[in-house]
Each structure stands twice: as C-alpha cells, then as structure tokens.
Structure 1
Amino acid sequence: MTEADEHAVPDYPTLLRLDGRGFVVIGAGQGIGRQTAHALASVGARVFCVDLEPERAARVAREVGGLPCSGDARERPAVERMIAEATQALGRIHGIVDIVGMARFADFLDIRDEDWDWAFDMVLRHAYLAAQVGGRAMTASGGGVLVFVASVSGLSAAPRHAAYGAAKAALVALVKSLAVELGPRGVRANAVAPGVVWTPRVSASLGEEGRKRNSANTPLGRVGRPADIAGAILFLVSDLSSYLTGQTLVVDGGVGQKFPYPPV
C-alpha cells in the first residue's frame, strides 16, 4: 500500500523573497554586479555595494537604495574592513556574492610568470578572502550563502585561455571545498559559470562583429546578458536553492553542449 504524501506544499513565490536580509555584492559597479544588486534589491534584500571604483559603488547603491563601499578585494585588510562595515550597516550578513574577475589571453607557450600570477590574483585571491573573512562572519551569526562567478573556461578548454581557465577551475574546486567545510556550519557555497556575456568590458573588447560571431555559435541565438547571470545568482542565494551547495551552474546559452563539427 502506497503511503499518502503528506509533505506540506510551500508557498513557492515567498521562497524567492529576501526581505530584510543583508547581502554584500563585491564587484557591484557595472555589468553582472550591477544587475545582481538590482536583482537582490527587487526581492527585498538590503544590498551593500562594493567596487574598486568609489563612484561606481556610489552610483549603484543609489540605484538600488543600498550602501556603497570601495576597496581592493584582493587585499586582506580591505576585505576585513568591507565585512566589518557591512556587518555594522546591515546588522547581519546573510550572503556574499563575489563577481570580481578579469582576463588576459595568450598562447600558453608565451605566458609570462607575471601574467600567470596576475590571473590567479584577479580570479582567485579575492574569492578566498571573501569566503574566509565573510564565512567567519556568517558562521558566527547563524549561517548564510556564498556565490561566486566562475566561467565555462574553468570547465572546458579554449585557445589562449590557459591561465584564466586554470584559475577559474581552481575557483570551482574552492566552491566544492567551501560547501563541504562550511555546510555543517550553516553556509552554502555555489558558483555560476557564464559563457560569453555582453558586459561593458566584453563589448569594448569584442565589438559588434564579436557579438555576431558568438550569437551565431550559441544554440539560443544570442550572447548572454548580465541580467541572465543575475537571475541565476538570485536563484542560488534564495531559499529556492536551500538544498543546493557545492555546485557550479552553467549559464552559457547551450554553447557547452555543442559538438564542434566543422562547418558544412
């Protein structure tokens, strides 16, 4: 005899709400970071907007009714100050979203030591600091959630992406370790791995021809928008994903699922 399903049905729309919760967005000044700040604020979160450029942090904070902060997220004293100021301003940090990252591309045989070190500094060091300093704050106050922006370059290979891809792969591995170590203390950790996203920086680098080429290569027929990634981040920080940790969610329009047959 089959037992009756007596599990309560949750009010699913409310699981997306973040009313009154405090979030730190590192790299909030433009692109994915700006859209993430807006996404969080739209469902009731209080947003602490961090950017290297004070003007950008202030502008986005005004847009979302949040609080601005500037500093270099690769420096421990700066991150400790950010988390302390966020804790004081928000009362409690419920989540940290780290979107910082830049890339330099070169043939592997031409990569210089300083370029290799730069890639890991720009991709990984700030994530380590945000997770450690922010993780201490969240475990001390009842738990929370960490979300990082990785890349499809950390999951598969592309020419001239060796340093960037290796650093992003390390970030994916870090997320898994954070999930295992911090999960018992109430902190979830996940990542989003975007494909080509048309941020201001990417637009300036690739131009209109680059947009057309990447759109044609994507099963969904377009490049990603910053809001596409912000939507995935919103899911990962919300209670809709309360049983999800240690994962990297690929948001690439289906590019990674294509077998690269040569053009007919």
Structure 2
Amino acid sequence: MRLADKVAIVTGTGQGIGRAVLRRFVKEGARVVAVEWSREAGEASIEGLPEQQVHLICADAHSQSTVDDAVQQALTRFGGLHVLVNNAVRYTERNVVDCTDEDWAATIDSALGSTFRFCRAAIPHMLRHSGGSIVNLASINHLVANPGLAAYTAAKGGVAALSKQIAIEYGTQGIRCNAVSPAFIATERTMQGVTERDMRLNRECYPVGRVGEPDDVANAVLFLASDEASFITGVDLAVDGGLTSLAASAVLSTRIRGWWGRPPIVLPDA
C-alpha cells in the first residue's frame, strides 16, 4: 500500500495510461479525484473501484474551472492533496508548415497549458501539507521526434522543462516534480489503424523485444509518486524499452544485427 493515506488527482483517466494509473493508485491505497472529459469513458474507468476511494469529474482538463473543481474536491471530499498526475492531452497531427495557429494553440494548451494550470493550483495546497509529488506525462517525442507532430513535440518538451522548473523552485519546501516520457504504448488510441506488420516492425526497434503497455507507465508513475522516490526530483524518466538508447543501424544493418545476436530483419509484405 505505497499510497496509503495519500490523496491524488489524475487527469485523462478514461483510457490507456490514465486509466492504468488510476486503477493502480487505488489498489495502492490512494483516494483519487479522476478527471476525464468523456463521461462514458470516465465511468468505465472507475467501474468496480471502491466508491469511497474515487471521485470522477467529467470535464475538460484544460479548463481553469475544471482545475479549480478537482483541487476543491480533493480537499473537501478527501481532506488534502499529496499527488498530482498530469496525463490528459488532445493534439493534432500536423507538420510545421501545415500546423495552423488554431492547431498549435489547442495542442499547446491541452498538453502544456493544462499541466501548468493544475500545477499552479495544486502547489499552494501541497505546501500547506508538508509537500507532495507531481508526475507529469511528457513523451520521448521531445527526445526523438516523429514527423507530423510539431505542436505535440513542442508541448511535451515544454512539459519536461516545466517539471524541472517546479523541482528546483519547490524542492526545499517538500515538493518533488518529475516527468515520465513513454515511447509507443499500446492503448485504444495508439492502436487505431495499426496492422500486425506495423507491430512486427515496432518490436524490432525495442531492445526489450516488445512495445509498451499502460501498466509499464503506471508502474513508473507509482514509483515516482510514492515515498520510495523521496530523493528523486527533476528527472525525465524514459519508459521506452530502451528505444532512445538504440542506434537505427542496430535495427537495419545485417552486420550489426549479427553482433547483437539477432537475425537479419525481414520486412513482411505490405
């Protein structure tokens, strides 16, 4: 029960990583205010969880009124606020030239703006209760970029930088802040349109031999949120199966794959 007697806010709990974090936190004893814009997805995510440990807010996480409501519910329903996990994001898939001002503003506000507003609202209450832990979901996309995600990549880089800023500004007052940067995680959203051929190629890129699952990220978030990580702050933890440590040549070169002990890659038919 690594989060016994802890009160947490987790955003974007309707599916994937957010849902896995929510359910893991409850299992570890936390009382959680769950924020999810879709009522259907939000209610599905809390099904079977003890009612006394979860309060669901169905609203957009980027809205200041949602931020204020979530913090207030944590304080009035559960008596405090010790952990904040910023996971919610909505984004557009555009390259730099095709990304409109509206695309840019919406993605930056959803990913970075929401994270900032939740941190700004939570920190004063954490300070009154001898500190807390903030875990912000960034992405390896700010370390190794993919085409067509201009605003998303910039926003997630901002989340990682903001996490460091919070860590150094409030560390002496008992607040830790870290980022988690997942690679490809198999969720309802990311698996849309993905073929078995895509998955075979994906697995070749990961030294651990598989893509990530939501629980892989939830485990990392749990550790950073818990007192077990009391001497860890300001880090950007890549939960990526070794992807960002791997040279592309190790995937494609027959010679290097031989050193690695892997057979030559055989591309399946399209």
Question: So what's the TM-score if we normalise by structure 1?
Answer: 0.89
How far off its partner does 1:263 sit? 3.9
- The farther-off stretch of 21-30 and 96-105 is 96-105
SS at match of 1:59: helix
Q: Deviations over 1:227-261 (max 9, x none)?
A: 00000001000111001111110001111111112
> Match for 2:24: what amino acid?
A
Indicate conservation of the 8 Å contact 1:235/1:241, yes or no: yes
SS at match of 2:190: helix
The equivalent residue for 2:133 is 145
Question: Contact conserved, 1:37 with 1:64, CA < 8 A, in 2?
Answer: no
Secondary structure in 2 matching 1:206: coil
Change beyond 3 A, Cα 1:196–1:217 = same
State the Cα deviation string for residues 197-229 of structure 1 (Å, max 9, x = none): 001000114343332221122111111100000
Q: What letter corresponds to residue 252 of structure 1 in structure 2?
A: D
Q: Percent identity?
A: 33
Which of residues 21, 37, 42 is equivalent to 2:6?
21
Please give the alpha-carbon distance, in whole angstroms, between the structure 2 residues aligned to 1:181 and 1:197.
31
| 1:51 is the counterpart of 2:36 | yes
For residue 3 of structure 1, what is the aligned residue in structure 2? none
Residues 1:164 and 2:152 aligned together: yes
Task: Indicate the SS of the match to 1:103.
Answer: coil
Task: Decide whether the 8 Å contact of 1:180 with 1:246 is kept in 2.
Answer: yes
Aligned to 2:188: 200
| Whole-angstrom CA distance in 1 between matches of 2:43 and 2:76 | 18
Q: Following the alignment from structure 2 to structure 1, what is the Cα–Cα distance between the partners of residues 11 and 148?
A: 27
Distance 1:160 1:23 in 2: 34
Gaps of 5+ in 2: 255-270
Measured after TM superposition, the shift of residue 63 of structure 1 is 2.9
Give the superposition deviation at 1:106. 2.6
How far off is 1:54 after superposition?
Answer: 2.4
Asked if the contact 1:49/1:60 (under 8 Å) is kept, the reply is no
CA distance in 1, matches of 2:67, 2:239: 28
How far apart are the structure 1 equivalents of 2:244 and 2:100?
Answer: 29
TM-align CA RMSD: 1.6
What SS does the corresponding residue of 1:85 show, helix, strand or coil? helix
Q: Secondary structure at the match of 1:188?
A: strand
| Equivalent in the alignment of 1:37 | 22
Contact 2:176 2:234 in 1 (8 A): yes
TM-score (norm 2): 0.87
CA apart distance, 1:122: 2.0
CA contact (8 A) 2:33 2:70 kept: no
Q: Distance in 1 between matches of 2:172 and 2:101?
A: 38
Answer yes or no: is 1:77 the counterpart of 2:65: yes
More displaced 10-residue stretch of structure 1: 115-124 or 102-111: 102-111
With over 3 angstroms needed to count, the CA separation of the structure-2 counterparts of 1:113 and 1:67, relative to structure 1, is: same
Deviating runs (4+, > 4 A) in structure 1? Answer: none
